[in-house]
Amino acid sequence: MDYKAAVITVSDRCSAGEKVDKSGPAVAQMLEEAGFPVIYRGLVPDERHEISAEFIKCAYELGADLIVSTGGTGFGKRDITPEATRDVISREIPAIPQAMLHYSLGLTPRAMLTRGVAGIRGKSLILNLPGNEGGAKQNLSAVLGVLEHALQMIAKDE
């Protein structure tokens, strides 16, 4: 079964054209290489309602099975991606971020400084990754192997 993916970069500076997005393209490439066609790439500022709206658009209008965000998971005042995610998910999946944390802590103690969440919205799995390219790739690589099975379970439940 082919599962379609969407990648959303959350960054004030990238959305304003002040910085080049590196994590979004890196995550999209990893997903493509793993067999998840990326049907959409979005870029939004750190605005809670815009992030939530982007998740909903990807889930319902675009029919993305997997929605991966990068950015907005740190400690800054404007880092609100986890909160925007919780606004739209019906069920949180704490073990996915826990697995990413466990893996990443073996590489750097700074891994504990991310607040990403994962959860289900309709038939879509939403997953938050850090905005740093290296951190995003590390976290995604920790769970990439189980995502297809997770999506199969979600599709069965619909």
Tens-digit pLDDT profile for residues 24-52: 999 999 999 999 999 999 999 999 999 99
Q: What would the mean pLDDT of 102-112 be, rounded to a whole number? A: 94
The CATH code of the domain at 5-157 is 3.40.980.10
pLDDT category, 158, cuts 50, 70, 90?
low
How would DSSP label each residue in 109-143? GGGGG----EEEETTEEEEEE-SSHHHHHHHHHHH
Would you kindly state where each structural domain of the chain is located, as residue ranges?
Answer: 5-157
pLDDT band at residue 64 using 50, 70 and 90 as cut-offs:
very high
Query: Does residue 3 sit in helix, strand or coil?
Result: coil
Tell how strand 66-70 and strand 5-10 pair up: parallel
Predicted local distance difference test score (pLDDT) of residue 105: 94
Instruction: Inform me whether the pLDDT recorded for 152 exceeds 70.
Output: yes
Residue keyed to tokens 């979600």 = 154
pLDDT, position 138 = 96
Average pLDDT for 147-155:
96
23 has a pLDDT exceeding 90: yes
